[in-house]
Structure 1
Amino acid sequence: MRTPEQLKKDIISDMRVDLAEEFDKNFNRKAFFTEKWKKRRNPNALGSLLVVTGSLRKSIQAKETPDGVKFTSNQPYATLHNEGGKGSVTVRQHTRKSKKGKTYTVKQHTRAVKVPQRQFVGDGKETQRIIQNVIDDNLEQYNQELIKTLKK
C-alpha cells in the first residue's frame, strides 16, 4: 500500500512523463496543442518550424520538484521562441551578388528581430486537462489499493 507521500511522488512522476511527451508532440503539430504557430515569413527557409537541427527540441528537460514539474532548456533562444519578443541575431560574413552580377562581401553584423510567439511548453487548458487526468488516474488506483487493503 502506497503512502500519501508516495502517491504525491507518483503523480508528479507521471505528470513529468505525460507532459514531456505532449510538449514534444507540439513540434510535430507545429502548435501548442491546438493553437497553431504563426507561419514563417520565408516559406523557402530550411527545416520545419522550430526544427532545423533539432537542438531546441532535444534540449527541453523536465525536472521533478517537490511541488510539480519544471521544464528548462539550455538553448538561449528557447524562451524567445516560446514567449515571443524582440532579440538580436548575428549574421555571419557572406557573399552576395548584385542585380548587375557583381559579387561583394557582406561583413558580419547583428540584426534586430521580432520573433512571434510559438509556444511549445507551458500552462494552458490542455496542460491542466493532462494534469487532472494524471491526478484522477492515480487517485483511482490509490482508492482501489485502499479498498483491497480494507477487505483483508
Structure 2
Amino acid sequence: MLDPNKLKADILEDMRVELSDEFDRNFERKGFFSDKWKPRAHDYPRGSLLMVTGAMRRSTQGEVSGNGVRFTSSEPYTSLHNEGGTGFKQVKAHTRRSKKGKIYTVRAHQRRFNMPQRQFIGDGPDTQRIIRTVIDDNLKQFNLSLTQLLRK
C-alpha cells in the first residue's frame, strides 16, 4: 500500500540531496546560482574566493528537520560570509619600521572589517525551482505507482 508519510519523507530527502548538491556547486560557480560574488579587494595568491582550505564548503550539511530541510555549518564564520556584515579580527602584536628606519612595536588589537555578502546557501528563485521539480517528480512517481496498483 502507498503511504503518504513515505511520500513526504521521500520528498524531503530528495530536496536535501538536490539542494546540497546545488549549494556545493555554488562554490565552483563563485556565486549564488547566477548571481556572482563580489570580488576581493586584493587578489590573494592562495585559493579561490571563499575556498582557501575548503573547510567551510566541507562543513556545510543539510538535514531533514520537521517539514523542511535545514542547512548548518560547524564553522563560525559561515553565516558572516553567507549573509555579509561587519566583524572583528584579532591582530597579533608585531613590529614595524617607520619611513625613517625606526623600529617600533604595535600592540595586539582588534580590527573591524566589512564583509560583503557572498551567499551560497539560501532561498531564491533557483532554490524554489529545484523544490518544485523535486515535488513534481515525486508526485508523478506516486501517481504512477497508484495507477499501477489500481489496475491490478
Global fold match (TM > 0.5): yes
Distance 1:25 1:83 in 2: 18
Q: How many residues align?
A: 152
Identity of aligned residues (%): 57
TM, length-normalised to structure 1:
0.92
Partner AA of 1:10 in structure 2: D
In the TM superposition, residue 59 of structure 1 has moved relative to its aligned partner by 1.1
Distance 2:110 2:75 in 1: 19
Larger deviation, residues 62-71 vs 41-50: 41-50
Distance 1:49 1:133 in 2: 30
In the TM superposition, residue 110 of structure 1 has moved relative to its aligned partner by 1.2
Query: Which position in structure 2 is the counterpart of 1:134?
Result: 134
In the TM superposition, residue 51 of structure 1 has moved relative to its aligned partner by 0.7
Query: Which position in structure 1 is the counterpart of 2:151?
Result: 151
Partner AA of 1:116 in structure 2: P
Distance 2:86 2:99 in 1: 31
Distance 2:55 2:76 in 1: 11
Q: What per-residue deviation string (whole Å, max 9, x for no partner) do you get for residues 41-88 of structure 1?
A: 011352111111111111111110120100011211111110111111
Shift of the 8–104 alpha-carbon distance from structure 1 to 2, 3 Å rule, reads: same
Query: Which position in structure 2 is the counterpart of 1:81?
Result: 81
TM, length-normalised to structure 2:
0.92
Gaps of 5+ in 1: none
Distance 1:16 1:101 in 2: 59
CA RMSD of aligned residues (A): 1.7
Larger deviation, residues 116-125 vs 96-105: 96-105
Query: Which position in structure 2 is the counterpart of 1:35?
Result: 35
